[in-house]
Amino acid sequence: MNVVFDFGAVLFEWQPAELLRTHLSHVTPTAEAARKLAADMFHHEDWAAFDRGTRELPDVVASMARRLALPADLLHGFLAPIGERLLPIESTVALLEQLQQRRGSRGDVQLYYLSNMPSPFARVLESRHDFLRYFDGGIFSGDVKLAKPDPAIFALLAERYGLVPADTLFIDDLAANVAAARQLGWRTIHCTAPAGLPAQVAALLPA
């Protein structure tokens, strides 16, 4: 069985409104203001293009600054270190370690990732987290100029590593990404509560 992990909100904490409340509290005085700003920042083509690797951070910051009427240096100071602020979800890291051990003892599991992640942040994660070595391979969107839920990025992962759809389990927090994988014949888990993920994965692995 191939197990394919998303990163944000599956393997790493991704709560942008909370990041804004922590690091830009003076422009997000309430939880509602933080949620709105997070949506305006991260659910927009500016950020989607950065995720895909088709725009660089300075260009994205300049566009956001104009659109949101916020200082560019303030936005850059918040966005540039995001890769360093992504904290591992310990229960998922423990699951990854268990699967890695199973791969070593039984050889019936292979581990991959498929993450919408800008290349600069991906490089930070690779340099900071030793557990990423457990993966047999994977794709970051920013490295290939494609992003989920585009079927092309799923097809690229499958082609690159010889993944058979019926033997591939994909885990993601976003329903649109899960639906895209399911359309390709992959097995899926919509991860809405990472603490429950080990039990969900165990139920789908070969006995």
pLDDT digits (tens, 9 = 90+) for 6-23: 999 999 999 999 999 999
**Distance (Å) of CA 104 to CA 98, 108, 132:** 10, 9, 16
Distance, in Å, from the CA atom of 44 to the CA atom of 41, rounded to the nearest integer, reads: 6
Give residue-wise pLDDT tens across range 72-118. 999 999 999 999 999 999 999 999 999 999 999 999 999 999 999 99
Q: How confident is the model at residue 206 (pLDDT cuts 50, 70, 90)?
A: confident
Average pLDDT for 146-150: 98
Which position has the token pair 């509602």? 32
Q: Return the pLDDT at 34.
A: 97
Query: What are the angstrom distances between the C-alpha of 167 and each of 67, 91, 117, 163, 177?
Result: 44, 24, 25, 7, 18
Strand partners, 2: 110, 168
Residue 81 has φ and ψ, to the nearest 5°, of -90, 15
Cα distance between residue 205 and residue 30, in whole Å: 43
Return all residues near 29 (Cβ < 8 A) that are at least 6 apart. Answer: none
- Is the per-residue pLDDT at 207 higher than 90? no
CATH of domain 2-13+86-204: 3.40.50.1000
Domain residue ranges in the chain:
2-13+86-204, 16-85
Using CA atoms, how far apart are residues 154 and 137, in angstroms rounded to an integer? 13
Amino acid 128: pLDDT:
97
Is the peptide bond between 194 and the residue preceding it cis, with omega within 30 degrees of 0? no
The arithmetic mean of pLDDT across residues 137-143, rounded, is 98
Question: pLDDT tens-digit profile of 168-190?
Answer: 999 999 999 999 999 999 999 99
CA distance 25 to 34: 8
Residue 129: band (very low, low, confident or very high) from pLDDT cuts 50, 70, 90: very high
Of the chain, the percentage scoring pLDDT greater than 70 comes to: 100
Between helix 151-161 and helix 175-183 the angle, nearest 10°, is 60
pLDDT band at 64 (very low <50, low <70, confident <90, very high): very high
Residues 6 and 171: beta-carbon distance below 8 Å: yes
Q: How confident is the model at residue 56 (pLDDT cuts 50, 70, 90)?
A: very high
Separation CA 89–CA 109 (nearest Å): 21
